[in-house]
Amino acid sequence: MILGRTLDERMLGLQRQGRIGFYGPATGQEAVSLGAWLAIAESDWVFPGLREQLLALARGHSLVTYMHHLFADDLDPARGRQMPCHPTAREVRYVSMSSVIGTQISQAVGLAYGQKLRHDPGVALAFFGDGATSANDFHAGMNFAGALSLPVVFCLTNNQWAISIPVQRQTHVDVLAEKANAYGFSGVRIDGTDVVAVHAALKEALDRARTGGGPSLIEFVVFRMTPHSSSDDPSRYQPADFLVRGRARDPVARLARLLRDRGVLDDEVVRTVAADADARVRSAVKEAEATAPPDARSLTTDVFLPPGSGGG
């Protein structure tokens, strides 16, 4: 979680310096990614929203490779063709998201349908924000998953803002998790700043999906402690006390207090972890900045089939 926080601070700074083009921080939502990492199996697939990069890194995606993606250089797996903060990490079953809101929901459901047909033990996890519950893919995905009892877990990270629109202006439902009832499966709201609660809820939902119990919707209530992205200025629309309330429920600080109470964390460990995270991020930045941009000739690579290759 400290690595994720360090990455956010460093990348926002680099974006302001013009060294990268865009960044979407996950500060305040780290407990969701880490709780998920502790709960999922190797066979499970992740369809992320904008703020689950830490889950890919925790599963084993290289921080250096992710940095190449942020710099859109020649070693970026997407060769600079995808939006920054939309990493592709097939090796850890982490599917590149789309900037179109909610599309990952129906995509995860489609994969879950395939998993069920193949009798594959894997579960699909779809991560999305409160704003995506107002998108058509939310209804289509939830309805299809419920009707066919598919192995998918809908992970709704309710950070209370769809960029500048508060959740109260999107829906008259007070608890978004209750929307699951209309599709015939269970929904639960939990504190998404509590790693222990996140892990417990996800483990139960994943076990249910894996054993034929069908889908679940989990609403993780979190605080977006930064701008929506490097293109946003929340001071123009958020109440003055929102960030104060968010800091009071900072997931990193909450976990630190828990570990200190258990006697397994002290100041020396914190300093060591923070120094290691800072060194890893700085090293990855240095390597990515030293890498050339994609060759212009790569623009059509993987787009057109060579003549005579048998393509339709």
Q: Could you read off the pLDDT of 96-155 as tens digits, one per residue?
A: 988 899 999 999 999 999 999 999 999 999 999 999 999 999 999 999 999 999 999 999
Could you read off the pLDDT of 36-49 as tens digits, one per residue?
999 999 999 999 99
Distance CA 63, CA 258 (A): 27
Active-site annotation holder among 51, 79, 93, 224:
224
Active-site annotation holder among 69, 79, 228, 249:
228
Classify residue 234 by its DSSP letter: G
Q: Within 10 A of 221 (CB to CB), how many other CB atoms are there?
A: 21
Order of all β-strands in the sheet with 124-129: 45-47, 124-129, 152-158, 216-221, 186-191
SS3 149: coil
CB 228 within 8 A of CB 234: yes
Q: Would you say residue 182 has pLDDT above 90?
A: yes
Distance CA 43, CA 124 (A): 9
Instruction: Name the pLDDT band for 306 (thresholds 50, 70, 90).
Output: confident
Active-site annotation holder among 90, 237, 245, 282:
237
Q: Would you say residue 279 has pLDDT above 60?
A: yes
Domains of the chain by start residue, with CATH: 2-289 (3.40.50.970)
Whether 228 sits among the annotated catalytic residues: the reply is: yes
H or E element, residue 116: helix 103-118
Task: Give the mean model confidence (pLDDT) for residues 201-212.
Answer: 97
Whether 224 sits among the annotated catalytic residues: the reply is: yes
Whether 262 sits among the annotated catalytic residues: the reply is: no
Distance CA 57, CA 33 (A): 10
pTM, entire model: 0.94
The Cα-based distances of 36 to 30, 151, 180, 298 in angstroms read 10, 16, 20, 36
Q: Would you say residue 311 has pLDDT above 60?
A: no
Residue 298 has what pLDDT? 85
Amino acid (one-letter) located at 247 = R
Residue 310 has what pLDDT? 63
Could you read off the pLDDT of 52-111 as tens digits, one per residue?
999 999 999 999 999 999 999 999 998 888 888 899 899 999 999 888 999 999 999 999
258: alpha, beta or left? (left if phi > 0; alpha if psi -120 to 50): alpha
Residue 110 has what pLDDT? 98
Q: Would you say residue 264 has pLDDT above 90?
A: yes
Residue given tokens 């007070």 in the structure block:
174
Residue 209 has what pLDDT? 97
What are the DSSP E strand ranges found in the chain? 45-47, 124-129, 152-158, 161-162, 165-166, 186-191, 216-221
Average pLDDT along the chain: 94
Which residues pair with residue 119 across a beta bridge? Answer: none
Task: Give the mean model confidence (pLDDT) for residues 193-213.
Answer: 97
